[in-house]
């Protein structure tokens, strides 16, 4: 055997090395492929989206880490399973139906769906589509799901906030709007729809004197009580803002059925509300309008319920009134009144009457209270019929300014006639008090008239002072620096805090007429009057009793050491000329 034949030829060597090289390359390639595979898997696992692959029958072929995590099982447990293994039958069937739809349509189908994984509620944005692998001619269903629970929750919250009141969580105006729209679009039955508008009486006083926190507590308590009525009557309760609530009663069998609901509302408000240990009596004024009789649109119904509500306020509050077309006429008259009031100032239709203030012990006249009157053509109008309209329309500012200047001028006249100890008291409205240049106005009125500051007294109510008590203290101190006097009018009707009473630089308290009225018969009134007198005296403040109408009241107050009195028992308010006459007739009795 030729040795040379056994020796591998060069070609063979070459072939071998090529094979080795190929094997190496092959190994490298597989390594590369594995590395790529791992990379793709890592990419899929890193995504915060659950991704899965299914065959035509719905068996899971692959799922990424997020999908396993959400389902709470491992990939091994998932492989080969179908939705019927994880979800309740009903949900699984819906899922499978979508799969079949995707197989049929062969395009991406996305949906937002609620889901439950591991007993936890989720909201998912899901998508499914078909992928085709050319090389193997295989087809798979690729699905993905993005957890949008937080977004959906935030959207829901925002939507809730848009349609609910933040303080009480009751539906708000927008909710009612959309509710009504919905009601109208579907309603073709002839049933009556009731709208009950409710406004708390004197809420502002409570808010001003006890503070906003107390006011908020009160509103919450009231809304809870009203909610119970709503639950029992099938109504919807909403808060429109401030102290205004709305009751919607859909599908009333008849118009009459609305009154027992109103009775119920009044009844639940009867029980006093306890705020910070203080018991507060509350009540509401209620206005009712009925659909479709009083309006076809919500706007009209609300307006008409509002007019009816004002009707209740006019009737003395704490009652309910059904809308009547005549109320519209009255509202127009009110507007006309505002226009007339504006002209009254220019036409000089206002004048002042004066009511003497008596020193109870001596019977002497110590001063006058100026009270505004309005002569409108043949009608003589008293402040109760127009002052509130003046306040609402800001006309009170120029009117009030005129009163101060006029009262100072008149008082100076009396001083010049020899009655130079007389004082004049002027009533101030809340708006006037809050106005920045009140001090300037007083200075100018005093200068213009030449009246000495000690002769001028301003009468303010508790409500005015307690609106912003800290500011009030400063304003009062500045006014006092001018040398004028300050008096609190209608004392006992607001919720003054005793602490503030000590801080306010006050000269006089006027006990409200309601406590003087029937004082001889009503023990409670007598007790309150006596308490106010001793309270005031302990703070070195003088006391005026308003509305003294008979001798018994006078005797009681004199014995109770009340300093001053005003009332029909002494004098009614009268024109300046008549007062001048009285002063002259009484001259010997004056100081
Ligand atoms: P007020 O300051 O408490 O004035 C006392 C009211 O009681 C006056 O009513 C007066 O006429 C009435 N009165 C006096 N004595 C008696 C009595 O013995 N019995 C009864 N039943 N009533 C008596 P008037 O003049 O109608 O004024 C009502 C309210 O209007 C005043 O209450 C005051 O708050 C306000 N007011 C009056 N003039 C002005 C003003 O120029 N500006 C402002 N902002 N308010 C004013
Ligand atoms: Mg007064
Ligand atoms: Mg008064």
Instruction: Look over the chain and give the mean of its residue pLDDT values, rounded to a whole number.
Output: 90
Lowest mean pLDDT among 46-50, 421-425, 520-524: 520-524
* pLDDT higher than threshold 80 for residue 499: no
Task: Please provide the DSSP assignment of 128-180 as one string.
Answer: EEEEEETTTTEEEEEEEEEE-HHHHHHHHHHHHHHHB-TTT--B-HHHHHHHH
CB 462 within 8 A of CB 496: yes
Write out the E strands in 235-319.
Answer: 236-241, 244-252, 273-275, 278-280, 284-291
Please tell me if the CB atom of residue 490 comes closer than 6 angstroms to any atom of ligand 1.
yes
Write out the E strands in 201-269.
Answer: 236-241, 244-252
pLDDT in tens, 434-471: 876 899 999 999 999 999 999 999 999 988 888 788 88
Atom from ligand 1 closest to the CA of residue 461: 34
Please tell me if the CB atom of residue 425 comes closer than 6 angstroms to any atom of ligand 1.
no
pLDDT in tens, 424-434: 999 999 889 98
pLDDT in tens, 89-110: 988 999 999 999 999 999 999 9
Please tell me if the CB atom of residue 371 comes closer than 6 angstroms to any atom of ligand 1.
yes
Residues pairing with 290 in the sheet: 194
Nearest ligand to the C-alpha atom of residue 568: 1
Mutating to test ligand 1, I would choose from 341, 349, 371 the residue with most ligand atoms within 8 A of its C-beta, which is 371
Atom from ligand 1 closest to the CA of residue 490: 3
Distance (Å) from CA 400 to ligand 2 centroid: 13
* pLDDT higher than threshold 70 for residue 344: yes
pLDDT of residue 49: 94
**Distance (Å, rounded) from C-alpha 42 to C-alpha 240?**
55
In 3D space, the residue among 189, 181, 192, 112 whose CA is nearest the CA of residue 152 turns out to be 112
Atom from ligand 1 closest to the CA of residue 548: 18
pLDDT bucket at 591, cuts 50 / 70 / 90:
very low
H helix count then E strand count, the chain:
23, 22
- Closest residue (by CA) to atom 27 of ligand 1? 383
Residues pairing with 156 in the sheet: none
pLDDT bucket at 56, cuts 50 / 70 / 90:
very high
CB 340 within 8 A of CB 350: no
**Distance (Å, rounded) from C-alpha 526 to C-alpha 516?**
7
In 3D space, the residue among 282, 201, 218, 208 whose CA is nearest the CA of residue 496 turns out to be 208
Distance (Å) from CA 436 to ligand 3 centroid: 25
pLDDT in tens, 355-394: 999 999 999 999 999 999 999 877 899 999 899 889 888 8
What is residue 561's three-state secondary structure?
Answer: coil
pLDDT of residue 590: 47
Cα 547 to the center of its chain, rounded Å = 37
What is residue 26's three-state secondary structure?
Answer: helix
pLDDT bucket at 587, cuts 50 / 70 / 90:
low
pLDDT bucket at 495, cuts 50 / 70 / 90:
low
Tokens of 231: 């639950």
Q: Please, is 413 exposed, middle or buried when counting C-beta atoms within 10 Å of its C-beta (0-12, 13-18, 19+)?
A: middle
Cα 147 to the center of its chain, rounded Å = 37
Collect all residues with Cβ–Cβ distance below 8 Å to 260 and sequence separation of at least 6. Answer: none
Distance (Å) from CA 433 to ligand 2 centroid: 14
Please give the order of strands across the beta sheet that includes 284-291.
236-241, 244-252, 192-200, 284-291, 320-322
**Distance (Å, rounded) from C-alpha 39 to C-alpha 386?**
85
Long-range contacts made by residues 559-564, C-beta under 8 angstroms, separation at least 24?
Answer: 560/529, 560/530, 560/533, 561/533, 561/537, 562/360, 562/511, 562/529, 562/533, 563/359, 563/360, 563/361, 564/357, 564/358, 564/359, 564/360, 564/366, 564/508
Please tell me if the CB atom of residue 429 comes closer than 6 angstroms to any atom of ligand 1.
yes
In 3D space, the residue among 498, 497, 501, 499 whose CA is nearest the CA of residue 486 turns out to be 501
Please tell me if the CB atom of residue 403 comes closer than 6 angstroms to any atom of ligand 1.
yes
In the chain, the N- to C-terminal Cα span, in Å, equals 165
Instruction: Count other Cβ atoms within 10 Å, centred on residue 64.
Output: 21
Q: Parallel, antiparallel, or unpaired for β 284-291 and 192-200?
A: antiparallel
* pLDDT higher than threshold 90 for residue 558: yes
pLDDT in tens, 263-283: 999 999 999 999 888 888 889
Please tell me if the CB atom of residue 400 comes closer than 6 angstroms to any atom of ligand 1.
yes
* pLDDT higher than threshold 60 for residue 588: no
Write out the E strands in 462-501.
Answer: 485-491
The C-alpha torsion from 60 through 64 and 69 to 75, rounded to 10°, is 50
Instruction: State which H helix or E strand residue 81 sits in.
Output: none
Please tell me if the CB atom of residue 244 comes closer than 6 angstroms to any atom of ligand 1.
no
Please tell me if the CB atom of residue 489 comes closer than 6 angstroms to any atom of ligand 1.
yes
* pLDDT higher than threshold 90 for residue 202: no
Calculate mean pLDDT across residues 537-552: 95
DSSP single-letter state for residue 87: S
């Amino acid at each position: 055997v030729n040795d040379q034949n056994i020796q591998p030829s060069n070609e063979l060597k070459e072939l071998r090395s090529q094979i080795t090289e190929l094997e190496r390359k092959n190994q490298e390639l597989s390594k590369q492929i594995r590395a790529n595979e791992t990379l793709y898997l890592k990419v899929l696992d890193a995504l915060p989206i659950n991704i899965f692959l299914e065959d035509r029958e719905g068996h899971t072929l692959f799922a990424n880490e997020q999908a396993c995590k959400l389902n709470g099982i491992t990939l091994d447990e998932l492989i080969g399973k179908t939705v019927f293994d994880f979800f309740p039958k009903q949900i699984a069937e819906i899922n499978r139906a979508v799969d079949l739809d995707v197989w049929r349509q062969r395009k991406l189908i996305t949906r937002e769906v609620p889901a439950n994984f591991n007993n936890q509620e989720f909201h998912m944005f899901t998508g499914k589509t078909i992928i085709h692998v050319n090389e193997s001619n295989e087809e798979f269903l690729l699905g993905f799901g993005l957890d949008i629970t937080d977004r959906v929750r935030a959207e829901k919250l925002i939507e809730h906030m848009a349609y609910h009141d933040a303080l009480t969580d009751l539906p708000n105006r927008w909710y009612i709007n959309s509710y009504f729209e919905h009601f109208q679009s579907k309603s073709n039955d002839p049933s009556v729809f009731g709208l009950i508008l409710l406004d708390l009486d004197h809420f502002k006083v409570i808010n001003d004197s006890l503070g906003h926190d107390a006011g908020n507590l009160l509103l919450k308590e009231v809304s809870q009580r009203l909610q119970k009525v709503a639950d029992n009557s099938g109504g919807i309760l909403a808060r429109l803002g401030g102290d205004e609530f709305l009751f919607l009663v859909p599908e009333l069998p008849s118009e009459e059925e609305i009154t027992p609901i109103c009775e119920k509302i009044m009844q639940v408000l009867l029980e006093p509300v306890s705020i910070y240990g203080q018991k507060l009596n509350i009540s509401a004024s209620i206005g009712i309008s009925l659909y479709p009789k009083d309006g076809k649109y919500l706007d009209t119904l609300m307006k008409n319920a509002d007019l009816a509500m004002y009707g209740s306020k006019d009737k003395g509050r704490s009652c309910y009134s059904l809308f009547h077309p005549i109320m519209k006429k009255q509202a127009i008259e009110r507007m006309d009144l505002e226009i007339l009031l504006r002209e009254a100032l220019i036409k000089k239709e206002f004048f002042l009457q004066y009511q003497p203030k008596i020193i109870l012990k001596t019977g002497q006249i110590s001063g006058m209270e100026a009270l505004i009157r309005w002569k409108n053509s043949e009608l003589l109008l008293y402040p109760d019929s127009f002052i509130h309209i003046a306040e609402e329309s800001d006309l009170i500012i120029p009117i009030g300014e005129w009163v101060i200047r006029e009262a100072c001028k008149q008082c100076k006249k009396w001083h010049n006639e020899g009655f130079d100890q007389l004082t004049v008291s002027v009533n101030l409205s809340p708006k006037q008090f809050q106005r920045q240049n009140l001090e300037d106005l007083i200075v100018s009125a005093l200068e213009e008239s030449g009246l000495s500051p000690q002769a001028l007294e301003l009468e303010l109510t508790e409500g005015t002072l307690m609106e912003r008590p800290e500011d009030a203290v400063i304003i009062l101190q500045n006014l006092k620096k001018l040398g004028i006097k300050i008096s609190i009018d209608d004392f006992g009707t607001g919720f003054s805090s005793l602490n503030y009473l000590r801080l306010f630089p006050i000269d006089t308290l006027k006990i409200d007429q309601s406590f003087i009225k029937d004082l001889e018969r009503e023990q409670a009134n007598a007790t309150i009057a006596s308490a106010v007198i001793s309270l005031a005296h302990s703070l070195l403040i003088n006391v005026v009793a308003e509305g003294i109408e008979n001798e018994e009241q006078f005797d009681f107050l004199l014995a109770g050491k009340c300093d001053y009195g005003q009332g029909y028992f002494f004098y009614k308010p009268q024109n300046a000329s008549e007062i001048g006459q009285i002063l002259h007739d009484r001259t010997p009795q004056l100081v």
